[in-house]
Amino acid sequence: MDAKVNYKVADKIVVDDIRRSFETRKGTLPVVGGISLTIRDGEFVAIVGPSGCGKSTLMKMLCGFDQPDEGRVLIDGQVRHGPSSKGILISQHGSVFPWLTVQQNLMFGLDGISEAEKAELADHYTAMVGLKGFEKSYSHELSGGMLKRVEIARALVMKPEILYMDEPFSALDALMNLKMRMELLRILEEERHTVLLITHDVEEAVHLADRIVVLSPRPTTIQATFEVNIPHPRKMSSPEAQDLKEAVLKELGL
């Protein structure tokens, strides 16, 4: 552990001044311009920012799929050099294998236990996301919302300490989006994870997060941070939720 970083045991993720540029035909494109952030164990942090500001680039560095040019990401006080088994990314693109059933998809990454135990765990998490009875279904037999649930179950079955979510519900219609948020909140009540959510949906951030980080345009830095002190279940039509939503939108220039 580097003495320069002020790390506390309850800090799950410490982001220490990370920067990232890309070389393009037009020259160097600075995308992430110096981000420092500390996320407590069990905290739910939502990151919102204008289109193209560098949210996904930031997320890739946070979950270890990409390395910053400068700065570091520490998980449990350890500098991270690549993806770690402590975290799982759920992205908008989806990663369910179409040639496997729901149950087989969930069993896929499990190691060190018998096939029967894997199947039992898989079925437990399938039920947890409300898909009991669909264990033997293939992805083409499921709706978009159901697939998203499989996606989440597939991440949860691995018992990750950190859930990285990059616009996980953006492809869903408004009703299914709301349903999935409620589902996620219910699951997090049962099994607490540290969650990092990237979203362009400010209402989603207000509904779900303990803290909302607003990013500036590219090269992105943290422009503002909002603590969400609204108890769950949150009523999105409440004055506090509406005020917060407006304050975040104002930061985004809307």
Ligand X SMILES: Nc1ncnc2c1ncn2[C@@H]1O[C@H](COP(=O)(O)OP(=O)(O)OP(=O)(O)O)[C@@H](O)[C@H]1O
Closest separation in Å from C-beta 22 to ligand X: 3
Q: How far is CA 220 from CA 19, 25, 75, 173, in A?
A: 9, 21, 22, 29
> Taking a C-beta distance cutoff of 8 angstroms, is the pair 65, 56 a contact?
no
Q: Which is nearer to ligand X, 83 or 130 (CB)?
A: 83
Which positions lie near ligand X, rule CB under 6 A?
A: 22, 24, 29, 31, 49, 51-57, 200, 218
Q: Which is nearer to ligand X, 55 or 181 (CB)?
A: 55
Please give the helix or strand (H or E) that residue 227 lies within, else none: strand 222-227
Closest separation in Å from C-beta 59 to ligand X: 8
Q: Which is nearer to ligand X, 53 or 122 (CB)?
A: 53
Q: How far is CA 54 from CA 3, 66, 227, 251, in A?
A: 29, 13, 22, 17
Closest separation in Å from C-beta 145 to ligand X: 21
Closest separation in Å from C-beta 31 to ligand X: 4
Q: Say what the alpha-carbon torsion angle 34, 39, 45, 50 is, to the nearest 10 degrees.
A: 0
**Terminal Cα distance for the chain, rounded:** 41
Assigned token pair, 8? 């506390």
Closest separation in Å from C-beta 218 to ligand X: 6
Counting beta carbons within 10 angstroms of the beta carbon of residue 66, is it exposed (0 to 12), middle (13 to 18) or buried (19 or more)? Answer: middle
Q: Which is nearer to ligand X, 5 or 222 (CB)?
A: 222
Q: Which is nearer to ligand X, 57 or 126 (CB)?
A: 57
Q: Which is nearer to ligand X, 55 or 118 (CB)?
A: 55
Closest separation in Å from C-beta 50 to ligand X: 7
How many angstroms separate the CA atoms of 242 and 184, rounded?
Answer: 21
